[in-house]
Every structure is written in structure tokens, then in C-alpha cells.
Structure 1
């Protein structure tokens, strides 16, 4: 099982943001706790269960073992990770 962080680093509110996703919600929430992200930041939507993370938190997540994934290079893996996140989003936490 794994936690993933994409390279979709979008500008918003003066920072750049990416998405933290995982194979299971348990893993996702555990990584968020390690990063100091409050549970209220959890995005439980049909677009996919995830946390938004700043570019700095993305790097910290990678140091903690999150797998960096690229929407440009790892397209098959990214589609699979997003599909799992969408299913988790529908099911709730």
C-alpha cells in the first residue's frame, strides 16, 4: 500500500499546491497527520479523496515515503491512483 503525491503543483493564494492521495483512507490520514495537516482539510469529494498540499509539504511527504507521481510521465499509475481516490471519495471516510 502507498501514499502518493502528484506533480500537479497549481498556484493558489500565493503558493503552489499538489494532491496527496493513497491506496487507503487510513494511509492517507496517517500521512496527513505526519505532515501536520488538520483533518478538516480532507477533501472527501466525488472528484477524489485527497488533501491539498503546498509544494513544501509535497517535498516533506516524499521524504516521509510518499511516492511522487507525474501526470506527464506516469499516466497509467496516475489514472489508477485517481480512480481509487474517487472511489474513496464516494464512500466517505
Structure 2
């Protein structure tokens, strides 16, 4: 299982929680959800809905699947084995997923 957490650290407030937020993702949604459960993230917090027509989701799962995590959870994820990556690497992962999803979609036609 490969799980990644980026260094975005964008200052944001969500409800009562303020902090610097990053993205936690993995090679597959299943791996991500298993890892997230291990470190205490709720399944309801998974962000996996496509908001853009340009985002292919042939199996119903958006290629942008991730959890937003504050710095304390980012550190917990790294301590649990997540690989720290640059925000540009996160973008590259999403781009690779998008390409693979399009190829899968085209092959099914």
C-alpha cells in the first residue's frame, strides 16, 4: 500500500477547525480508506466526488479522491507510513489517474 501526503499546507478554516490543510491520498481509494481508518479519519470525510466535466470517473470514483488533513493529522499520517510529497507531485498523481481513467473509458467503448 502506498499512501501520500502533500506539503500544500493551505491556511483554511472549516467550521470550527482552523489550520494548514494538505491532501492525503493513495494509489487506490480502497488503500486510502484503510489507511485513513488506521489513523482516525472518518469515511465521511473522503472527498471523491467529481465536480468537473473534465474529470473522468468511469467506475464512479473521481480521480481526485483524497482527504484534507491539518498539520497534526499530516504528521500522524507520515508517522504511520505515508510518503511526504510536494504539491506538484500530488498534481502529477491526479494527472496520471486522469490519463489512466480516460484510457480505460476509451477501451470500454
Q: Where on the TM-score scale, by shorter chain, does this alignment land: which range? A: 0.7 to 0.9
**Residue 57, structure 1, aligned to residue 69, structure 2:** no
**1:7-66 deviations in whole A, cap 9, x for unaligned?**
011111221110001101111001110121111101013370000111110011011110
- Is residue 21–residue 81 contact of structure 1 (8 Å, CA) maintained in 2? no
Distance in 1, Cα, partners of 2:20 & 2:80: 20
Equivalent residue pairs, number: 83
Q: Structure 2 length normalisation: TM-score?
A: 0.67
Runs of 4+ in 1 over 6 A off after TM superposition: none
Q: Structure 1 length normalisation: TM-score?
A: 0.77
- Is residue 23–residue 84 contact of structure 1 (8 Å, CA) maintained in 2? no
Q: CA RMSD in A?
A: 1.9
Q: Secondary structure at the match of 1:27?
A: helix
